Amino acid sequence: MNILILGSGGREHSLAWATLQNPKCDKLIVAPGNAGIAMIADCAALDIMDGAAVIYFCETNSIDFVIIGPEAPLAAGVADDLRGAGFLVFGPSAAAAQLEASKAFTKEICDAANAPTAAYAHFTDHARARAYVAANPAPLVIKADGLAAGKGVIIAMTDEEAAAAVDEMFDGAFGDAGAEVVIEEFMEGEEASFFVLCDGETVLPIGTAQDHKRVGDGDTGPNTGGMGAYSPAPVLTDEIAEKALNEIIRPTMAEMAKRGMPYQGVLYAGLMIEDGQPRLVEYNARFGDPECQVLMMRLGAQAFDLMHAASESRLSDMRVNWGNDHALTIVMAAKGYPGSYEKGSVIKGLDALPEDSKNMTFHAGTTASSGMITATGGRVLNVTARGDTLADARTRAYEMVDQIDWPEGFCRRDIGWRAL
Ligand code: AMP
Ligand code: GLY
């Protein structure tokens, strides 16, 4: 099969890495890709937000199957465009991707599906939102409705912070994404990510993970896209996972199908767990990044068969073969991230690192120039290892990090602490 993966991050590097291990893969192209992906697959400069351009590329390159990595092309309807042109696609329609693209939509679906989540109110009017925060004491969570690259959420621990957050959203700090605002009850507990594949009807769990959203050790400092992850997440026990499936995920999928927008692709449920009860924090319509890297490290070649089956509505025939293993990934980022950072610093020492079924450095924001790898993004590398225990995987991953010579980069030193 000729396969096209859309995206350019560590997530897409790991998707490409797992896909290449599958004998069904004859040719793999990643668009636009990055310097690490270019070492294992062809990369193509392509505007992945332009459905017509992606269709033309698929026609001229005899592509049989397209895997869409990030949320933006999903929300823009690139999966719909491709399906309309007769291509097989892994990724939800724009209508179904509203589960990520609109927080108000998701809250309303959860109400209809009776899925446990934080109590909320939805506002399009600044004064009404201000009146609501005046009447409801902090802590409150203030969210821009639309896609805001993971930055549209403010946790207000005081009434003053809540009022300021509402002002910031309506004053346009998050652009159009903040024209509508959702205000939620603050949920206590421990967060974990649950990943399932859906084919419109069948739901198949493929793994759990825990991300590290804050930039600093001990979960301090500002929020980021994620500074490291591990899988499985022990806080999501089998019993809690079963509850999440029966009370949250399956009812949501049934409600989506009932509304004529069946969900097909990977659904990433962010859960808050307190006293054995999961509640939904958010849905994403894609794999998490860096959670995908640890899932791919554990699933290997079967990940491709599972995605392929989801896109052909064959999930009821599929099983996931889990090893008794653990994977952990450490994000190396440019100093200054998630604020401003320099681009173009040189990363050395990558050639000496092992690359096999247990050790892999996935690239995110890297570029190759004159035979060197340079950092061109905020999150730059995902140093990933698999082991018989989480402690093994972690030791191995930090050993690899310590072999990388990149003075302009940094990482957290405590990835996995909650589970260890
Ligand atoms: P979201 O983009 O909705 O996932 O929010 C980003 C992060 O904010 C989540 O991963 C949580 O850590 C936190 N968060 C969001 N909503 C809530 C809530 N209702 N209660 C507590 N924490 C929340
Ligand atoms: N790591 C969090 C996310 O992908 O949204």
Choose one of 151, 194, 195, 211 to mutate for the ligand 2 pocket test, by most ligand atoms within 8 angstroms of C-beta.
211
DSSP string, 35-52: TTGGGTSEE----TT-HH
Rounded CA-CA distance 276/154 in Å is 26
Nearest residue CA, atom 5 of ligand 2? 288
pTM, whole model, 2 decimals? 0.95
Nearest residue CA, atom 7 of ligand 1? 153
Choose one of 282, 284, 286 to mutate for the ligand 1 pocket test, by most ligand atoms within 8 angstroms of C-beta.
282
Nearest residue CA, atom 8 of ligand 1? 153
Rounded CA-CA distance 394/387 in Å is 8
Residue 290 CA, closest ligand 2 atom number: 1
Tokens 């173009």 correspond to 344
Tokens 């490291």 correspond to 228
Residue 191 CA, closest ligand 1 atom number: 12
Q: How far is the CA of 31 from the centre of ligand 1 (A)?
A: 31
Cα radius of gyration rounded to whole Å, the chain: 21
Q: How far is the CA of 246 from the centre of ligand 1 (A)?
A: 22
Choose one of 14, 271, 284 to mutate for the ligand 2 pocket test, by most ligand atoms within 8 angstroms of C-beta.
284
* Sequence-ordered strand ranges (E) for 151-306: 153-156, 181-185, 190-199, 203-211, 214-216, 220-223, 228-231, 264-274, 277-284
pLDDT in 10s for each residue of the chain, 420 residues: 999 999 999 999 999 999 999 999 999 999 999 999 999 999 999 999 999 999 999 999 999 999 999 999 999 999 999 999 999 999 999 999 999 998 889 999 999 999 999 999 999 999 999 999 999 999 999 988 877 666 688 899 999 999 999 999 888 877 776 678 989 999 999 999 999 999 999 999 999 999 999 999 999 998 899 999 999 999 999 999 999 999 999 999 999 999 999 999 999 999 999 999 999 999 999 999 999 999 999 999 999 999 999 999 999 999 999 989 999 999 999 999 999 999 999 999 999 999 999 999 999 999 998 889 999 999 999 999 999 999 999 999 999 999 999 999 999 999 999 888
